[in-house]
Structure 1
């Protein structure tokens, strides 16, 4: 029994260490079905091997908490600082991103040992009140590290799906579950008055820097569909020439579509006249009633134009979601694919908005390497809202902004339609 276990009821940071324990355990649970060979897979530069995600999230706690503020801390291996830094220039040199899959050493077992080393040091340091940081700053950094790891849990899942999709065996990561059979229900419209509203994080509890400052926006009256676009609706778009009608597409989107030969969402194929898709439950017939997933911003924007609608702005989405309970299909369900059957703003798929990922009025990144977390990515990317079947529910709040480049499809990306009143 560790010192922390003996003093949990006395530890001033017990709530945040409970969060730390839950998050670290969830990552191990996600890795449990993987073989040592699976742990090293990297299918493209945008993706990373599972063991790299597990090591990088550990490096984050070591680099930003243990090394600078725990007297006497000894790293497990000084070389890991180079191997597992991602993009933090101020934290030092980094191994080339596209070559993470070549890191056969350290082994998966070594990475697990590294995780235990850092976890033990952090827990013991908290229990002994040994950190040089003020308690509120220490709590803030541990909380940030936990939310950072939750982001990488989602990436671990979606990167693994992409890597497995190249295997002709189309392996299942989790035991397949019976696919429900549901009728496709017509979407209903929900109207919103608009007006002068506030969006952005309200300053209480945790949020990333890019979610604030809270600020005023003017919204004209608008409406949102009560559910995301479904696979059945997407097939109708395809059958009506959606992928071959250039006038539906942004010029850059059309060029990307032509270059890549897109004619359906990622992971789709036809077999005996039926559409199939690859999921982490293995190959499945496309469920017409489930939300469409793995579509780029360009495809989503073309679909919205074909449907006579548009994508919502992130302010419209947030204003609608702020009073809405966070309920839906998230990572914790273990489905790892969209299964939505009811109206709602949350879960199943991230929803593309028409808003560029840019700073809110008054935004200032934090000092030091931590300030590189979001600010330097605020160009050429689009905002998505709502969380997905691979997102930990604890990550989400109405102000949460994720962002991807408009051509990317390997994440759990879908869309919801919007319109003017």
Structure 2
């Protein structure tokens, strides 16, 4: 089995790539925080989330710790706030009570950190140290900022008040009538990566794994299909739910995806301050793992394993190799996937035919994070880098793996090997799913 190795770049190209990625991330952070007034920035819109001003200063704090102090060897700017913005020291619900930087102070701080980080980028050797090889530390910090930008976008979805974010509508379906499911052949493939320069520790190393043949939904499950589960009484029928899922549903009075409400003329939802009828053709979003699992059982199917998801997304039967992305090895373009907050909703099923995998599976990247049935774990040969808290402390049965990114995920923070994870009860994240089933004898 083989994988694609990204093109090696010279030091000048690496610096330019890192600078562009950092700049794009900062522009998004600024847009998300400038969209609201200072009162909204310091308010906690949900106990599940931090105040937006905490996220902004935390972005700067992590950049200072890794790029200014560690990579650059410079003197600390604000060692007095290290503890305040350490995500492991304070639960999100408790952060409003901390002596946080004011909005003006936070903006000034992140600007100063960025100036020093760019100076480090211009001067530091990009070889001789693992943390700086291929500008890894700059890529890690970029991905961290983009991940917090998506978290801030989720906070915007939770805030009350008039809409403050705006974006054009996603493209319409362009693929014509698609088959409901696609057969993915059985056999071994290369999962993970050892070559992707900005891949994080839990994506490594590349390793061979075999899966049996299976059928995978061609697109993520749509809101229209999910409404059928609701309208059939699926939320009130214990037989579709796991014991943990049923307990969660009943104890919390869950009756529909988060932000959905049944009106006399059907299902409506709130989306970034807009109350609107659900769009039947777009992937369902804001469902927990337990809800996805129950729908799959109702449909006579199951959630795919993480390995099945990655094989559908990367394996090319014609060449026997694993691609970087479903469509090939080039970076995501607007024709491939709904990423980067370009739109503020998932695109209809079939909107990105250019992004389909070799086996004909669509929209594996972007639109909605997809729940898998797999608990987060390290791959064979896993080694924590550059710190255990990035992923290793989350290994175990408490967290389920999500794949593929959402409309709120930037292209710098997603690829065919990228792994996300969360508690199976989480619904504020931009998560949906697709289902799978085992292939029969003689299939695949």
Which TM-score bucket, shorter chain as reference? 0.7 to 0.9
Q: Quick one: structure 1 residues 72 and 390, their matched pair in 2 at CA, closer, same or farther if it must change by over 3 Å?
A: closer
Q: Quick one: structure 1 residues 230 and 126, their matched pair in 2 at CA, closer, same or farther if it must change by over 3 Å?
A: closer
Q: Quick one: structure 1 residues 221 and 104, their matched pair in 2 at CA, closer, same or farther if it must change by over 3 Å?
A: same
SS in 2 for 1:269: strand
1:137 pairs with 2:135: no
1:218-233 equivalences under 5 Å are 218-233=210-225
SS in 1 for 2:188: strand
Q: CA deviation at 1:231?
A: 1.0
SS in 1 for 2:210: strand
- Contact 2:84-2:100 within 8 A present in 1 as well: no
Q: Deviations over 1:72-126 (max 9, x none)?
A: 5341x33221211112xxxxxx345322223574211110000011011122233
Aligned-pair Cα RMSD in Å: 2.6
Q: Quick one: structure 1 residues 26 and 191, their matched pair in 2 at CA, closer, same or farther if it must change by over 3 Å?
A: same
1:341-352 equivalences under 5 Å are 341-342=349-350, 343-352=362-371
Q: Quick one: structure 1 residues 264 and 142, their matched pair in 2 at CA, closer, same or farther if it must change by over 3 Å?
A: same
Unpaired runs of at least 5, structure 1: 1-8, 88-93
Q: Quick one: structure 1 residues 260 and 205, their matched pair in 2 at CA, closer, same or farther if it must change by over 3 Å?
A: same
1:194-343 equivalences under 5 Å are 194-280=186-272, 282-322=274-314, 323=323, 324-325=326-327, 326=332, 327-333=336-342, 335-342=343-350, 343=362
Q: Paired residue for 1:174?
A: 165
- Contact 1:49-1:160 within 8 A present in 2 as well: no
Q: 1:120 aligns with which of 80, 101, 115?
A: 115
Partners of 2:200 and 2:31 lie apart in 1 by 25
Q: Paired residue for 1:373?
A: 390
Unpaired runs of at least 5, structure 2: 1-10, 315-322, 351-361, 440-444
1:155 pairs with 2:151: yes
Name the count of aligned residue pairs: 397
- Contact 1:356-1:381 within 8 A present in 2 as well: yes
SS in 1 for 2:268: strand
Q: Paired residue for 1:388?
A: 406
Q: 1:360 aligns with which of 362, 370, 379?
A: 379
SS in 2 for 1:172: coil
- Contact 1:275-1:286 within 8 A present in 2 as well: yes
Partners of 1:260 and 1:17 lie apart in 2 by 45
Q: CA deviation at 1:132?
A: 11
Q: CA deviation at 1:194?
A: 1.4
Partners of 2:187 and 2:14 lie apart in 1 by 44
- Contact 1:40-1:104 within 8 A present in 2 as well: no
Q: CA deviation at 1:178?
A: 6.8
Q: 1:414 aligns with which of 429, 432, 436?
A: 432
SS in 1 for 2:182: strand
Q: Deviations over 1:46-79 (max 9, x none)?
A: 311222111111111111232245455341x332
Partners of 1:350 and 1:68 lie apart in 2 by 32
Q: Quick one: structure 1 residues 235 and 132, their matched pair in 2 at CA, closer, same or farther if it must change by over 3 Å?
A: closer
Q: CA deviation at 1:159?
A: 2.1
- Contact 1:210-1:374 within 8 A present in 2 as well: yes
- Contact 2:178-2:218 within 8 A present in 1 as well: no
Q: TM-score, normalised by structure 1?
A: 0.87
Q: CA deviation at 1:223?
A: 1.3
Q: Quick one: structure 1 residues 365 and 12, their matched pair in 2 at CA, closer, same or farther if it must change by over 3 Å?
A: closer
Q: TM-score, normalised by structure 2?
A: 0.83
Q: Deviations over 1:20-40 (max 9, x none)?
A: 222222221222312112212
- Contact 1:125-1:131 within 8 A present in 2 as well: no
Q: Quick one: structure 1 residues 154 and 179, their matched pair in 2 at CA, closer, same or farther if it must change by over 3 Å?
A: closer
